[in-house]
Structure 1
């Protein structure tokens, strides 16, 4: 069964929704504008979140000390790097924290899969993330790490996404209505991912 990650939680209602339907992971975004939250907001959201749901912190070229602070204070359980972080950055980060690391990779062509980062997971996405668009999933190639598939996954293509040979699916705008997380969409995405009829 594929893992499911609901990314971009911002409100206490979002936590209520995921506590009800229990995806494997949720994402707190510390970059961009649309879904960005602060350290204090993240701490409050985590407080009310079921401990069985793991929190992924999403960063873009973030200062390592901030990532470390979130990990050390148990606000996040995994780190997702969505910028131009190098293996040198990752090496320094791993000296400070001991949690799994996901590296996001922009899929543009076949060469995009020739990646070699010292991380635990890859996340394959369209563009720089947060676009709500998918890349051509027929391009997917086997790599030597578990992969999260991201970018434009929603109720109209979740069944196709579930057929892909990946570890997990990362959904954000696909479970939103008018820019806010939608309870019914989260319910249905998680149900389909778990094949609960």
Structure 2
């Protein structure tokens, strides 16, 4: 079954809603400004989150020691690299952590396919631009991806069933469950409902 990641959670109510809808993953963003959380806030939110929901820490060119500290403390259970991290960075990161690594790519043409296929990360995440744009990219490129991938970029309740037809490992939503820049209970509820119903349809095919 395709997994669901609700990314960019930063309020206690966001966590309470996630506990209600039970996605497979939530995302805490340790980069940028709009959805950034501090280590202290992230630890508090993790404490209130259901233990079976795994937390993905989202980073951009972060100090590896900081990532390792968050993993060691149990604040995050996966690491998502959303900057210009290269293979050397991933190798150094794996020397100090043993949790899965996700590497994000902006998929806007076939020239990225070789790098996506060659990444040593456990998973790749395919997004529009630098992420958080709320826009989709050209999904006709997805059949060229021959490894498990997180599908992000412009997902919302209205298009998640179509996204599932490309058989991603996981769908990843952030702005699609927001209103005026903050998470919206009804949009989160609707996204989860559409995603789960779409998965059931895919299983019957």
Gaps of 5+ in 1: none
The answer to whether residue 157 in structure 2 is matched with residue 184 in structure 1 is no
* TM-score using structure 1 length: 0.97
**Partner residue of 2:42?**
42
Q: Is the CA contact (8 Å cut-off) linking 1:113 and 1:141 kept in structure 2? A: no
Alignment deviations for residues 28-81 of structure 1 (CA, whole Å, 9 cap, x no partner): 000011000010010000000001100000000000010000000000000000
Q: Is the CA contact (8 Å cut-off) linking 1:3 and 1:169 kept in structure 2? A: yes
**Partner residue of 2:68?**
68
The answer to whether residue 137 in structure 2 is matched with residue 135 in structure 1 is yes
Measured after TM superposition, the shift of residue 139 of structure 1 is 1.5
Partners of 1:16 and 1:178 lie apart in 2 by: 19
Q: Is the CA contact (8 Å cut-off) linking 1:105 and 1:122 kept in structure 2? A: yes
The answer to whether residue 155 in structure 2 is matched with residue 153 in structure 1 is yes
Alignment deviations for residues 138-163 of structure 1 (CA, whole Å, 9 cap, x no partner): 12134343100000001221121121
Moved more, 36-45 or 143-152: 143-152
Partners of 2:101 and 2:168 lie apart in 1 by: 17
The answer to whether residue 88 in structure 2 is matched with residue 107 in structure 1 is no
Partners of 2:11 and 2:119 lie apart in 1 by: 33
Equivalent position SS for 1:141: helix
Runs of 4 or more above 3 Å deviation: 141-144
Q: Is the CA contact (8 Å cut-off) linking 1:120 and 1:145 kept in structure 2? A: no
Partners of 2:124 and 2:143 lie apart in 1 by: 12
Equivalent position SS for 1:69: helix
| 1:87-126 map, 5 Å | 87-115=87-115, 116-126=118-128
Gaps of 5+ in 2: none
Aligned positions, number: 197
Partners of 2:181 and 2:5 lie apart in 1 by: 17
Structure holding more helix per residue: 2
**Partner residue of 1:30?**
30
Partners of 2:113 and 2:182 lie apart in 1 by: 32
Equivalent position SS for 2:158: coil
Alignment deviations for residues 106-162 of structure 1 (CA, whole Å, 9 cap, x no partner): 111012121212110000001011111110111213434310000000122112112
